[in-house]
Amino acid sequence: TQSTWAAAAPQQRARRLHLEYFVQDAQRFTWLELLPPFADGVRRDARVVSELPLSSLVVFKLQVLLCSRLPHNATHTATLLGIAELLASGVEAFVGQTSLVLAELALLDRLEPALELLLPTPALALAFAKEHCTDPQRWRVVLEHVLSVGTADCMTAYFAVMRYLADVTPPAVFASLLPPRGSLAVYLPLLEQSMRAH
């Protein structure tokens, strides 16, 4: 009947918008697949996530909004950050909370606070840095911050980053990222790795 169709129409429109935006255009940082509620490294689109519990779907959609590469005007950005901060600061922790905090920090381009959260998980720290460090100066911030903490986890993260940079950075640039008082025995193999890669 017409009344049944009219009642279903908003749901159909919502479903269509979901498919058009969150399935076709959803862009999320790859490192989000290493964090709950996903945390298994499997790349997802919204069609797959829509089969998961509502809480995971809500986190996914907020991630999409925070990771959007579309230009954000001031109002849009403030709204997204307000939502993320409201959820992230809740009294009760929820699955996916850390992912929203990190996505918010990435949107704000706040590298060092993000590293504070990431360093206990070296693989995640490296994945985050790969996506958000686009020049030697930003990589230097990562390296100096990791070295300044100096824990075993941080040193593991540090050398994972150095091995990655040796493969992707020209030798002259890589040499500029070495610590001024570093041990030759430790860093020479990495410099040789950079030279072989280029």
Instruction: Name which residue leads in pLDDT, 13 or 96.
Output: 96
pTM, two decimals, is 0.72
Q: Tokens standing for 121?
A: 């998980």
Confidence of residue 175 (pLDDT cuts 50, 70, 90): very high
Q: Which of 24, 40, 22 is nearest to 32 (CA)?
A: 40
Residue pair 100/89 in contact by the 8 Å Cβ criterion: no
pLDDT value at position 43?
65
Condensed to tens digits (0 to 9), the pLDDT of residues 103-162 reads 888 888 888 888 888 877 878 888 898 888 989 999 998 888 888 877 887 888 889 899
Condensed to tens digits (0 to 9), the pLDDT of residues 153-163 reads 788 888 989 99
Mean pLDDT of 74-84: 68
Report d(CA 154, CA 146) in Å as an integer. 6
Q: In Å, how far from its chain's centre is CA 150?
A: 23
Question: Mean pLDDT in the chain?
Answer: 77
Using the predicted structure, report yes or no on whether residue 196 has a pLDDT greater than 90.
yes
Report d(CA 153, CA 148) in Å as an integer. 12
For tokens 């230097």, the residue is 140
Report d(CA 115, CA 124) in Å as an integer. 10
Confidence of residue 13 (pLDDT cuts 50, 70, 90): low
Condensed to tens digits (0 to 9), the pLDDT of residues 17-44 reads 555 555 545 678 889 888 888 876 566 6
For tokens 């290493």, the residue is 34
Report d(CA 82, CA 55) in Å as an integer. 19
Q: Which of 26-30, 97-101, 156-160, 175-179 has the least mean pLDDT?
A: 26-30
CA separation, residue 123 to residues 37, 56, 91, 131, 150 (Å): 17, 23, 29, 13, 17
